[in-house]
A = this chain, B = another copy of it.
Amino acid sequence: MAQMNMIEAIRSAMDVVMDKDPNVVVLGEDVGYFGGVFRCTDGLQRKYGEHRVIDAPIAEGGIIGAAIGMGLNGLRPVAEIQFADYIYPGFDQIVSELAKIRYRSCGEFFSPVTIRTPCGGGIRGGQTHSQSPEGIFTHVSGIKTVMPSNPYDAKGLLIAAIESDDPVVFFEPKRIYNGPFDGDPEKPAVPWTSHPKGEVPEGYYTVPIGEAEVVQQGSEISIVTYGTLVHVATAAAEKMGIDAEVIDVRSLSPLDVTTLADSVKKTGRCLIAHEATRFGGYGAELAATLQKSCFYHLEAPIARVAGWDTPYPHAFEWQYFPGLKRMVAGIERVLETTA
């Protein structure tokens, strides 16, 4: 098996499906000749031509609108939005059209668009290059929302997304493109080669959308999280020397309630963590669902660790980012509470 970082794994996913299915096309800003500002599409235009890897005008609404039309004509478009912070100009096409075409035409028409977009902070990008807007997509019926936390899942989930007849918004936590990150920016960067999930098959495989993964088993607390914070959670548990069960949600919608609820019922305690702003975020849905299904097993209230309810401030990103300390403090609170 090969070693890949997340960028390579994502590129490999597109390569594999493009090779397999001539209807798969890629479009987005700077994705063609240049290969994308994060290099995720590097080499694809040379390999598959300018008509399948298309440099688009700078209009996210146009990219998604045109991708929908391509999908209606039998292609499988993979649209890159350069930063998740810039997905909003395409929001109407996603919510009003992409998500609803199948429903309103009773399945006669549909458009299997996958939207890839890098999200999250920790790269000194300031508030317009750091957002995690997944919570506004999970509320929209008709689309699926996915966020991988490692190269293996990234490739498998992306192939599944592209092959899915349902539209998928695929968030890529850019902070972990090059290596897992435990939340401490002072430590030397760690490459994916050091991580078991940096081993990625060269060829075709899928990771099914709709399944959470128990990253590590444990009995004292369930930490339910996704994206970059999966790594912070495991690091925090290790640092504290506790027996935590860490769950990577991966597929935010559809949500694998069973895996999550089974864990929380077992441990009786639950911390939910994400990088996005807390108020009205996706963590609220997780908490609402889990308090309902695990009420009689809970020994403490479900807590959330999340980005503060402010824009992502450039200079204070490490005070904003829910890092090791906040994770530890969150775990402590949940553990300390006695029912």
Stretch at the interface among A96-104, A117-125, A148-156: A96-104
B residues near A88, Cβ cutoff 8 Å? 91-92, 95-96
- Closest chain B residue to A303, Cβ basis: B292
Beta-carbon contact of A311 and B142 below 8 Å: yes
Q: In the bound complex, how far is the Cα of B81 from the Cα of A306, in angstroms?
A: 32
Q: Is A22 an interface residue (CB 8 A)?
A: no
Q: Is A1 an interface residue (CB 8 A)?
A: no
- Closest chain B residue to A282, Cβ basis: B280
Beta-carbon contact of A139 and B141 below 8 Å: no
Interface string of A280-314 (1 = CB under 8 A from B): 11111101110111011010111110000111000
Tell me the residues in window 80-100 of chain A with beta carbons closer than 8 Å to chain B beta carbons: 85, 88-89, 91-92, 95-96, 100
Q: In the bound complex, how far is the Cα of B296 from the Cα of A339, in angstroms?
A: 7
Q: In the bound complex, how far is the Cα of B296 from the Cα of A309, in angstroms?
A: 26
Q: In the bound complex, how far is the Cα of B115 from the Cα of A145, in angstroms?
A: 28
Task: Given A85-B96, A280-B285, A295-B337, output 10 extra A-B contacts at Cβ < 8 Å.
Answer: A88-B95, A91-B92, A136-B136, A139-B277, A141-B309, A280-B284, A284-B288, A288-B288, A292-B301, A293-B301
